[in-house]
Amino acid sequence: MDTTLQDPLVGQVLDGRYRVDARIAVGGMATVYRALDTRLDRVLALKVMHPALAADVSFVERFIREAKSVARLAHPNVVQVFDQGTDGSYVYLAMEYVAGCTLRDVLRERGALQPRAALDILEPVLAALGAAHRAGFVHRDMKPENVLIGDDGRVKVADFGLVRAVDTVTNTTGAVLGTVSYLAPEQIEHGTADPRVDVYACGVVLYEMLSGDKPHSGDSPAQVLYQHLHADVPAPSAAVPGLAAVLDGLVATATARDPELRPADAVALLGQVLEARGGLTAGELDAVPPKALAADHDNADDRTSVIPRSLSIPRTLPVNEDGEAYAVHGADAGLDRTSRFESPPPLPPRRRGAGPRRGVLAIVAALLLVLGVGAGVWYINSGQFTKVPPVLSKTEAQATDRLEAAGLDVGKVEHAYSDTVKRGTVVSTDPGIGERIRKNDSVTLTISDGPETVKVADLEGLRLDKAKARLKADGLAAGMVTREFSDEVSKGSVIRTEPKAGTERHAGSAIAIVVSRGSRVEVPDVTGSSVEDAREKLEDKGLKVEVATERVTSEFDKGQVAEQSPGEGKAVAEGDTVTLKISKGPEMVEVPDVVGDNVDDARQELEDAGFEVDEDHGFLGLFGGDTVKSQSVDAGDKAPKGSTITIEVR
CA–CA dist 235, 248 (Å, integer): 5
Name the pairing type of β-strands 588-590 and 571-573: unpaired
Backbone angles phi, psi at 105, to 5 degrees: -60, -45
First to last CA, the chain: 101
Backbone angles phi, psi at 435, to 5 degrees: -75, 150
Backbone angles phi, psi at 107, to 5 degrees: -65, -40
CA–CA dist 254, 304 (Å, integer): 21
Measured between alpha carbons, how far is residue 375 from residues 155, 372, 386 in Å?
Answer: 7, 9, 21
Instruction: Return the SS3 of 156.
Output: strand
CA–CA dist 403, 440 (Å, integer): 10
Q: CB-based burial of residue 383 (10 Å sphere; 0-12 exposed, 13-18 middle, 19+ buried)?
A: exposed
Q: Is the separation of the CB atoms in 44 and 99 below 8 Å? A: no
Q: Is the separation of the CB atoms in 431 and 399 below 8 Å? A: no
The verdict on whether 213 is a catalytic residue reads no
Q: Is the separation of the CB atoms in 292 and 239 below 8 Å? A: no
Backbone angles phi, psi at 372, to 5 degrees: 125, 10
CA–CA dist 618, 627 (Å, integer): 12
Name the pairing type of β-strands 520-522 and 571-573: antiparallel
Name the pairing type of β-strands 544-552 and 577-583: parallel
Q: CB-based burial of residue 474 (10 Å sphere; 0-12 exposed, 13-18 middle, 19+ buried)?
A: middle
In terms of Cα–Cα distance, which of 282, 247, 275 is closest to 354? Answer: 275
Residue 415 CB neighbour total at 10 angstroms: 13
Q: What letter represents residue 360's amino acid?
A: V
Q: Is the separation of the CB atoms in 374 and 124 below 8 Å? A: yes
Q: Which one is catalytic: 41, 83, 141, 465?
A: 141
Running DSSP on this structure, what letter comes out for residue 153? S
Residues labelled catalytic? 141
